[in-house]
Structure 1
Amino acid sequence: MKRMLFTSESVTEGHPDKICDCISDAILDEILKQDPNARVACETTCTTGIVSIMGEISTSCYVDFPKVARGAIIEIGYDRAKYGFDGNTCAVVTAIDEQSPDIAMGVNEGFENKNGENDIENTNGAGDQGMMFG
């Protein structure tokens, strides 16, 4: 009998991971609203007084990342320094580059499509991203 151990992490309201997820989600939503064909790999980190947004994004639209980040933070309820974080005054640092050619090569056309299986579901390939839950 094979034994397997499955674990997962869960964080509660107010945890920096939750704040960062909300910011990344807001950025993705704004990009996809303007460019449904965008490629987005966006990571966010934060600590008291500062947010860092980084990743690889290929899109034809313009998004004001600091504005979107501040809006997400304020929407969560962090709008005063006395709460330990203030979306109105925190620093927002961005480091965004275009998607690397290596990743683009894998997602521009699916493996199956490259090998002659011309099925609509196999048109796009998979990138380097995983599914998270919890």
Structure 2
Amino acid sequence: MSNYLFTSESVSMGHPDKLSDQISDGVLDALLAQDPYSRVACETLCSTDLIVLSGEITTEAKVDYVEIARQVAREVGYVSDDIGFNADSCRVLQALHKQSPDIAAGVDRDGA
């Protein structure tokens, strides 16, 4: 009989991981609304006064990624410097780029 330790992470409301997931979902939703064939690998990191968007996106859609991130943070309630995060004044770094040709070739050839 082998012994093992099972662990898992659970985060509560207001945790930066929850906001990060909601921002990534918001980006995906906005892109799919304009281009249902969008390919999206968007990762978001949130920290004090900072949102970072990174990943690979191939789409015909035209969206304002920074505004999507700010809007989601506003909707969640991050609207005051007093709580350490203000959607309207935080820094938003965008490091999104087109999907790599190698990945695109595999998806184009084999289907998504």
Task: Report the TM-score when normalising by structure 2.
Answer: 0.90
Quote how far apart the aligned CAs of 1:108 are: 1.8
1:56 is aligned to 2:56? yes
Aligned residue in 2 for 1:77: 77
Aligned to 1:130: none
Q: Higher strand share goes to which structure?
A: 2
Counterpart position of 2:15: 15
**RMSD of aligned C-alpha atoms?**
1.6
In the TM superposition, residue 105 of structure 1 has moved relative to its aligned partner by 2.2
Q: Partners of 1:17 and 1:35 in 2: how far apart?
A: 27
Give the Å deviation of 1:84: 1.5
Report percent identity of matched pairs.
Answer: 49
Q: Secondary structure at the match of 2:17?
A: helix
- How far does residue 107 in structure 1 lie from its aligned partner after superposition? 1.7
Unmatched runs of 5 consecutive residues or more in structure 1: 111-123, 126-134
Deviations 1:29-82 (A, max 9, x none): 000101100110101111111111011100011110111000000000111111
Q: Give the TM-score of the pair, scaled to structure 1.
A: 0.76
CA distance in 1, matches of 2:63, 2:3: 48
Which structure has the bigger radius of gyration?
1
* Deviation sequence 1:14-34 (CA, Å, 0-9, x none): 111111111111011000101
2:94 maps to what in 1? 94
Q: Which runs of 5+ in 2 are unaligned?
A: none
Q: Which has the higher contact order (CA 8 A, sep 6+)?
A: 2
